[in-house]
Amino acid sequence: MAIELKDNRFHLYNDEMSYIIEISRQKDLLNVYYGARVDAEEIETKRDRPGAFCSCADDNDPDYSLSVMGQEYPSAGACDFRSPAYEITNAKGMHTPELKYRSHEIINGKPKINGLPAVYTESENEAQTLIITAADEFYGLEVKLFYTVFEKLNVICRHAEMRNCGKSDMMLNNAQSVSLDFPAGEYEYIHLEGAWAREKHIDRNSVHKGIQGFESRRGASGHTENPFMMFFDKGSNEDYGNVYGISLVYSGNHRFIIEQEAAETVRVQAGINPFGFSFKLSEGEVFTTPEAVLVYSDTGFAKMSNTFHKLYRTRLCRGVWRDKTRPILINHWEATYFDFTADKLLDIAKSAAKIGVELFVLDDGWFGHRNDDFSSLGDWYVNEEKLGCTIAELAEKINQQGLKFGLWFEPEMISPDSDLYKKHPDWAITVPGAKPHLGRHQLILDLTREDVREYIIGFLTDILSSANIEYVKWDMNRNMTDVYSENLSPERQGEFYHRYILGLYEILETVTSRFPNVLFEGCSGGGGRNDPGMLYYMPQNWASDDTDATERLYIQYGGSMVYPASTVGAHVSAVPNHQVGRISSLKTRGTVAMNGAFGYELDLSILSEEELNEMKEQVKFYKENRELVMTGEYYRLLNPFTSRHSAWMYVSEDKKEALVYYVVKTARPSNEVVHLKLKGLNPVAKYNVGGKIMSGRTLMNHGIIIDDTEHDGNCRIIKLYNI
């Protein structure tokens, strides 16, 4: 791995990948190549003919037009008419800066990004970082572009810092984390679209002329568009094709665009959504963009996913729980919703203990006078009348059952019906004087305010120190409207969305480092903030409020493109399912939920012995196999979006063990015989497959024969041992 500068070209490479940046004679930073490993000196700079109506950046070189060249961080208004990577306006209203290379630095390892979550290294040998400084002297703008390249993973992390080096203020109206220019070609892209309880669905499209893409304007990364995109050669699949995954380590408004222009070249950008964004930079002030993580695969989607999984599991998630075995939990939410007593909770906990569950989670409804979702957010004192005891006492009773105790919070919210609102109505995000728009009957606290952040850190510290609380579910149940803060001057209102997220990250950093042994699970009505930014603070994320096994096949398949199973909260719930009314067998529900941080979310205290025994077996199986699920290489075998069944598998790093999951989505008579071709095995090793000995190559080329008319719960888990 190295970053080299030769003949005005930076070559960022490892054994499998190259990324080439050229400093042109005119000092522009040109985006020359990104893909499988090449020899940098042999690559020609992409230079399409400019033609009529192209402005030229150099009178001595009339063909030199940025409008048709690949660029690293394209400016607006200076020859290139495509989407700029950043936009500024100076105090005089001028807005056409042009960046020119000034200097660079190459360092070992990866520097931290102040105040923002980011991928990290544990030793300086894992990665190298190139920092290029470019500037526009006239505007007094200096931009630092950061590129970290990893030695063992095909990963490049990018972000930018914008500094006002002039004397007067400037407004930054756009600052993308990454801009890439790909040569003319036929491309496709996948993004993970959805809605509440239907997150992370695969949406595959052909790239066409013009601008296309997706974004969030919700003040959160959102259920509707995950901050992730796969851009690839047309026709790529799980095992074939040049694939570029782009994942934004950010939990707020994001935007991903793809622009194909006249010369058929394609520009891809990702970063903070310019919607509602403007950031005032006074003299000497710096704005730092979130990090974009780029993963390259020369052989399709599976390799890209495995690179993201390994990187995010080991170099984004942090703390003791990063590598620790995650406890199997019971959450009472779908069992009782708000309607519970301490006795009911203890009954559920007792049954959970009997089947081997390890953690009990007290969800919404334990504080203030909250018996429905109309009140009490902000009043974080226990409702002793309802519980009959303190949190510490309840935790102790749960601990006596042999279970850890966990607690739900929604720290960022305030109910108009709360003591907190009576005391501090100005802490809620509203436009003063205008009627606010409620979401789930609640408002959001203004995290741009220091006093609000201190309040949240304060009550969390008090409660978490007051009892043996070993797990926290951090929920967030509405998106942002009425965006305005009395804390910010009028010209800084465009900073609100971003400053909210910075405030959130500050709180999360403080609380998670104050309570390093607590396991935090992120949640936003399920997957409303399932993003890498949150994973930096919380190694688990409740993937969706939809717990139906079939619906989860889609959600977990889509999510697996980028997020490792260790980060995915997945529970067995009651039937008929509360979201879609479907009745699935307990076997199917368990089979699907075991693909993540596993748990149960139903009233165990009313189940039959037979059901509890089956669950006991599930728990036993999961305990025996959870390390493989958490850390194994992941292969998607059958796609639920395009076929009537779904299948996937995990292979241990040494390829000695594998676990195959197969679920029938739509049962029907007169079926085809399924040849389930496995992946990732050692071709010449022999595996024991339920007593039958087969080589890796037979299993991968001929497959396992499955006849799903056998009616055995419509799903299977097949364990393979290397003999």
Range 399-438, binding ligand DGJ (CB under 6 A)? 408
**Residue 526 binds ligand DGJ (CB under 6 A):** yes
Residue 295 vs 476, nearer CB to ligand DGJ: 476
* Interface segment toward ligand DGJ; rule CB under 6 A; list 4-12, 21-29, 463-471, 522-530: 522-530
Cα-based torsion angle of the residue sequence 683, 688, 690, 693 in order, rounded to the nearest 10 degrees: 80
* Interface segment toward ligand DGJ; rule CB under 6 A; list 112-120, 288-296, 391-399, 520-528: 520-528
Residue 327 vs 632, nearer CB to ligand DGJ: 327
Q: Which helix (H) or strand (E) holds 174?
A: strand 170-182
* C-alpha closest to that of 481 among 276, 227, 331: 276
For residue 626 the two structure tokens come to 């959870």
The single residue among 28, 142, 181, 364 that binds ligand DGJ, judged by CB under 6 A, is 364
Neighbour-count burial for 419-440, b at 16+ CB within 10 Å, e otherwise: ebbeebeebbbbeeeeeeeeee
Count Cβ atoms below 10 Å from residue 551 Cβ, excluding itself: 22
* Interface segment toward ligand DGJ; rule CB under 6 A; list 297-305, 518-526, 682-690, 701-709: 518-526
**E strands, 201-328, in order:** 201-206, 210-215, 225-233, 243-249, 254-260, 266-272, 279-281, 286-288, 291-297
Which residue's structure tokens are 């930073």? 29
**Residue 199 binds ligand DGJ (CB under 6 A):** no
Peptide bond preceding 683: is omega within 30 degrees of 0, i.e. cis? Answer: no
CA atoms within 13 A on the CB side of 391: 26
Residue 79 vs 220, nearer CB to ligand DGJ: 220
The single residue among 215, 291, 545, 546 that binds ligand DGJ, judged by CB under 6 A, is 545
CB distance 542 to 199 below 8 Å: no
Is 63 designated active site? Answer: no
Q: Tell me the number of residues near ligand DGJ by CB under 6 A.
A: 11
The single residue among 187, 308, 333, 367 that binds ligand DGJ, judged by CB under 6 A, is 333
**Residue 525 binds ligand DGJ (CB under 6 A):** yes
**Residue 363 binds ligand DGJ (CB under 6 A):** yes
**Residue 475 binds ligand DGJ (CB under 6 A):** yes
Q: How far is the CB of 413 from ligand DGJ (least distance, A)?
A: 10
For residue 512 the two structure tokens come to 């998670």
**Residue 22 binds ligand DGJ (CB under 6 A):** no
**Residue 569 binds ligand DGJ (CB under 6 A):** no
Residue 338 vs 641, nearer CB to ligand DGJ: 338
Looking at beta carbons, which residue is closest to ligand DGJ? 364
Residue 250 vs 408, nearer CB to ligand DGJ: 408
Q: Which helix (H) or strand (E) holds 300?
A: helix 300-315
Is 15 designated active site? Answer: no
**Residue 590 binds ligand DGJ (CB under 6 A):** no
Q: How far is the CB of 611 from ligand DGJ (least distance, A)?
A: 22
SS (H, E, C) 625-672: HHHHHHHCEEEEEECCCCCCEEEEEEECCCCCEEEEEEEECCCCCCCC
Give the per-residue contact string, 435-474, with ligand DGJ (x = CB under 6 A; - = no): ----------------------------------------
Bridge partner list, 651: 633, 658
CB distance 192 to 561 below 8 Å: yes
Q: How far is the CB of 475 from ligand DGJ (least distance, A)?
A: 5
Residue 81 vs 374, nearer CB to ligand DGJ: 374
Residue 33 vs 333, nearer CB to ligand DGJ: 333
CA atoms within 13 A on the CB side of 502: 16
CA distance linking residue 138 with residue 95, whole number of Å? 11
The residue annotated as part of the active site, out of 417, 475, 531, 708, is 475
Q: How far is the CB of 527 from ligand DGJ (least distance, A)?
A: 9
The CA-CA-CA angle for residues 70, 75, 79, to 5°, reads 70
The residue annotated as part of the active site, out of 48, 545, 548, 708, is 545
> Which positions lie near ligand DGJ, rule CB under 6 A?
333, 363-364, 408, 475, 477, 523, 525-526, 542, 545
Catalytic residue positions, numbered:
475, 545
